[in-house]
Amino acid sequence: MTETEATSNRRTIEGLAEAGSALALGLWAGVLLMVGVTAAVTFPLMADLDVQIPRYEAFDGEHHRIAAGQVLNRAFLISDWIGVGCLAIAVLCLALLWIVGKPAFRRVRPGLVLRLASLGVLSLITVFQTAAFRPSLNSKFEQLWGAAQRGENERAAEIRDRLAPQHAKASFLLATQFTLVLVAGLSSGFDGTTRRRRDAEDGSA
């Protein structure tokens, strides 16, 4: 294989890896945005409809919160696992770029540092959310819905009060993930442009 062919193959692989990373991060950002919008719309809508759930007829609390909560709980669960898949693709694409790229790829650049940092923090948050926070939150939701269905109103109110701080934490995690996904995507694009320019300047174009 000639040097020209090797360079062409490398650039093709790099292009595919960059495209895969951009698509994964773009999809993830879109999913997070839609989940946030869905949450903002669902609770007021259910309240306006004055939803009453026959299965929870013994519960004297707000039925619309249970209805909206069950819908959004599934939406967040789907979003979490889509995020895990998108994160895995983005990390694998970065690893591929690191392996097939010339030594120029490993030079310290602002875009690369920001890309690595954002994906690193995003990985930690996603693992925490998927492996620890979400299962704990789901367990509390199941307790709340079970108590409400059995008509244990005081017990349900107690669990609901304990859940209030968790809602704020969930919102913070969602906003943080969305911000980091945008940072990772933008820094990836900036880094790719910088790397290709330096590659050309080094005479490898």
Nearest to 185 by CA among 19, 26, 13: 26
The residue type at 60: D
Q: Looking at the predicted structure, is the pLDDT value of residue 108 above 70? A: no
Mean pLDDT score, 171-187 = 94
Q: pLDDT tens-digit profile of 35-82?
A: 999 999 999 999 998 889 999 999 998 999 999 999 999 999 999 999
Q: Looking at the predicted structure, is the pLDDT value of residue 32 above 70? A: yes
- Output the CA torsion 73→74→80→81 (10° steps): 160
Spatial distance between the Cα atoms of 36 and 138, rounded to a whole number of angstroms: 18
- Output the CA torsion 184→190→192→198 (10° steps): -140
pLDDT score recorded for residue 64: 92
Q: How confident is the model at residue 106 (pLDDT cuts 50, 70, 90)?
A: low
pLDDT score recorded for residue 204: 47
Q: Looking at the predicted structure, is the pLDDT value of residue 121 above 90? A: yes
pLDDT score recorded for residue 188: 84
Q: Looking at the predicted structure, is the pLDDT value of residue 95 above 80? A: yes
pLDDT score recorded for residue 205: 43
Q: How confident is the model at residue 100 (pLDDT cuts 50, 70, 90)?
A: confident
Spatial distance between the Cα atoms of 102 and 199, rounded to a whole number of angstroms: 9
Q: pLDDT tens-digit profile of 127-151?
A: 999 999 999 999 999 999 999 999 9
Mean pLDDT score, 181-205 = 73
Q: How confident is the model at residue 111 (pLDDT cuts 50, 70, 90)?
A: confident
pLDDT: which is higher, 104 or 46 = 46
Cβ burial of 73 (10 Å; 0-12, 13-18, 19+) is middle
Interacting residues of 27 by C-beta distance below 8 A, sequence separation 6+: 82, 86
Return mean pLDDT, the chain. Answer: 87
pLDDT score recorded for residue 5: 67
166-174: long-range pairs with CB below 8 Å, 24+: 166/137, 166/140, 169/133, 170/76, 170/133, 170/137, 173/125, 173/129, 173/133, 174/32, 174/35, 174/36
